[in-house]
């Protein structure tokens, strides 16, 4: 949410030169009103609008840039973008890991998964979305190259590289900029309402187990938006915000995915928690080694304060250490847990059942005493799925 609002206010500033705060406040107010009234179903409607706006933005941007933009060929060689680079090769690994794990980390994607009527519908939707998103990313990425080669984005201004696409659009005629601005705000609104719905759902179901009135949850989200807006206005770099969450998700998600597989029925919450925290700690350990024992720099590596453009192996190493370290800590915790339970079973004279496959809750059992059978099942199947230890 911070990144979304930060991006909006900076884009408004780039395209118009005006303060983006009013646009941010209006967006938060409108999305809060209609998500409170319509819930997640309204978010589905705005997603359709968002898709249409993306297509319109790309078509208009391609035509306008093709007609109005003039490329200075001397800047092509000067930029060095067509030459192989260390960062370019590193990003072939960093970006897929960062984006894939972060998508697992976002509630909005899970809510859409659960909302799919069938697995077939989900496969069709994801496949179509992936195809069109790939095209959009290619066009937007090329827009960054054209921004540099046309002079819209000065090559010595590396800090604003993430705004290069909109710097390019800002060079177009005023009426094009106006239409683009409307589309951008629509896109941001459609994305922000999904995040609001996801937070409401997470807070209601995961934190309060649906025992708190939904309007209380929505009120808490409104209160939460206030610090989100403040942090967003003070965030100088959108990429920095995403990189922090990417590192966290790269540490946590591999251990999470293991728990989603029936083959790893012996995986427990303890293994997941230790693995996720261990992945983050492994980034710090890698930093200690990489920076020759400098704990300060190792701590800053967890937040990737140097970003992706450090021209060294720090960011790459962090994204390697996070998932691998998380898995190592997770499996190590699993081994320690199983060994402890085995020893306790021998000491107490109980059967070691930590590796027993759980019996599905939906399995029907005919008995005159359901409670007695349930107790037997729990003893013989290692208990119900989802146990922490």
Per-residue pLDDT tens digits for 105-118: 887 788 778 888 99
pLDDT of the residue at 343: 95
For residue 382, pLDDT beyond 50: no
Task: Name the nearest CA neighbour of 165 among 54, 9, 11.
Answer: 11
For residue 13, pLDDT beyond 70: yes
List the alpha helices (DSSP H) in the chain. 2-16, 21-38, 40-68, 73-79, 86-105, 107-115, 119-149, 164-169, 174-201, 214-233, 238-260, 269-290, 295-302, 314-348, 370-380
DSSP 3-state of 162: helix
Q: What is the rounded average pLDDT of the residues 176-197? A: 86
Contact 196, 32 (CB under 8 A): yes
pLDDT of the residue at 172: 84
pLDDT of the residue at 101: 94
Greater confidence, 376 or 267?
A: 267
The secondary structure of residue 161, as a DSSP letter, is G
Query: Could you report the per-residue pLDDT of 134-157, keeping only the tens digit for each?
Result: 888 888 889 889 999 999 888 888
Q: What is the rounded average pLDDT of the residues 347-367? A: 74
DSSP 3-state of 151: coil
d(CA 7, CA 233): 9
d(CA 120, CA 175): 43
For residue 371, pLDDT beyond 60: no
Per-residue confidence at 381, pLDDT binned at 50, 70, 90? very low
pLDDT of the residue at 378: 42
Query: Could you report the per-residue pLDDT of 244-287, keeping only the tens digit for each?
Result: 889 999 999 999 999 989 899 999 999 999 999 999 999 999 99
Query: CB 186: neighbour CB atoms within 10 A?
Result: 19
For residue 311, pLDDT beyond 50: yes
pLDDT of the residue at 333: 97
For residue 190, pLDDT beyond 50: yes
End-to-end Cα, the chain, rounded Å: 34
DSSP 3-state of 250: helix
pLDDT of the residue at 376: 38
């Amino acid at each position: 949410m911070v990144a979304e609002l930060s991006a909006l206010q900076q884009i408004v500033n780039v395209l118009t030169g005006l303060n983006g705060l009013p646009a941010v406040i209006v967006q938060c107010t409108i999305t809060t009103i209609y998500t409170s009234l319509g819930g997640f179903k309204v978010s589905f409607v705005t997603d359709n609008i968002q898709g249409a706006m993306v297509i319109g933005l790309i078509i208009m941007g391609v035509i306008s840039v093709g007609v109005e933009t003039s490329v200075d060929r001397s800047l092509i060689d000067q930029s060095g973008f067509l030459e192989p680079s260390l960062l370019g090769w590193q990003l072939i690994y960093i970006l897929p890991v960062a984006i894939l794990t972060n998508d697992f980390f976002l509630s909005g994607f899970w809510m859409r998964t659960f909302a799919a009527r069938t697995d077939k519908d989900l496969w069709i939707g994801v496949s179509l979305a992936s195809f069109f998103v790939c095209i959009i990313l290619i066009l937007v990425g090329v827009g960054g190259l054209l921004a540099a080669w046309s002079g819209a984005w000065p090559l010595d201004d590396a800090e604003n590289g993430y705004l290069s696409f909109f710097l390019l659009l800002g060079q177009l005629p005023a009426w094009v900029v106006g239409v683009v601005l409307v589309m951008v705000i629509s896109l941001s609104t459609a994305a922000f309402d999904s995040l609001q719905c996801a937070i409401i759902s997470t807070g209601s179901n995961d934190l309060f187990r649906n025992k708190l009135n939904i309007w209380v949850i929505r009120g808490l989200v409104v209160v939460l938006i206030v610090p989100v807006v403040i942090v967003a206005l003070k965030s100088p770099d959108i990429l920095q915000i995403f990189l922090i969450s990417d590192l966290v998700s790269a540490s946590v998600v591999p251990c999470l995915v293991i728990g989603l597989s029936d083959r790893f029925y012996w995986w427990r919450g303890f293994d997941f928690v230790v693995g996720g925290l261990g992945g983050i700690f492994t980034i710090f350990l890698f930093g200690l080694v990489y920076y020759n024992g400098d704990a300060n720099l190792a701590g800053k590596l967890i937040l990737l304060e140097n970003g992706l453009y450090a021209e060294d192996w720090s960011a790459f190493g962090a994204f390697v250490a996070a998932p691998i370290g998380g898995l190592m800590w997770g499996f190590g915790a699993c081994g320690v847990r199983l060994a402890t339970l085995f020893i306790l079973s021998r000491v107490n004279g109980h059967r070691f059942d930590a590796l027993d496959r759980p019996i599905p809750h939906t399995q029907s059992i005919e008995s005159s005493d359901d409670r007695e059978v349930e107790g037997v099942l729990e003893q013989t199947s290692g208990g119900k799925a989802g146990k922490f230890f």
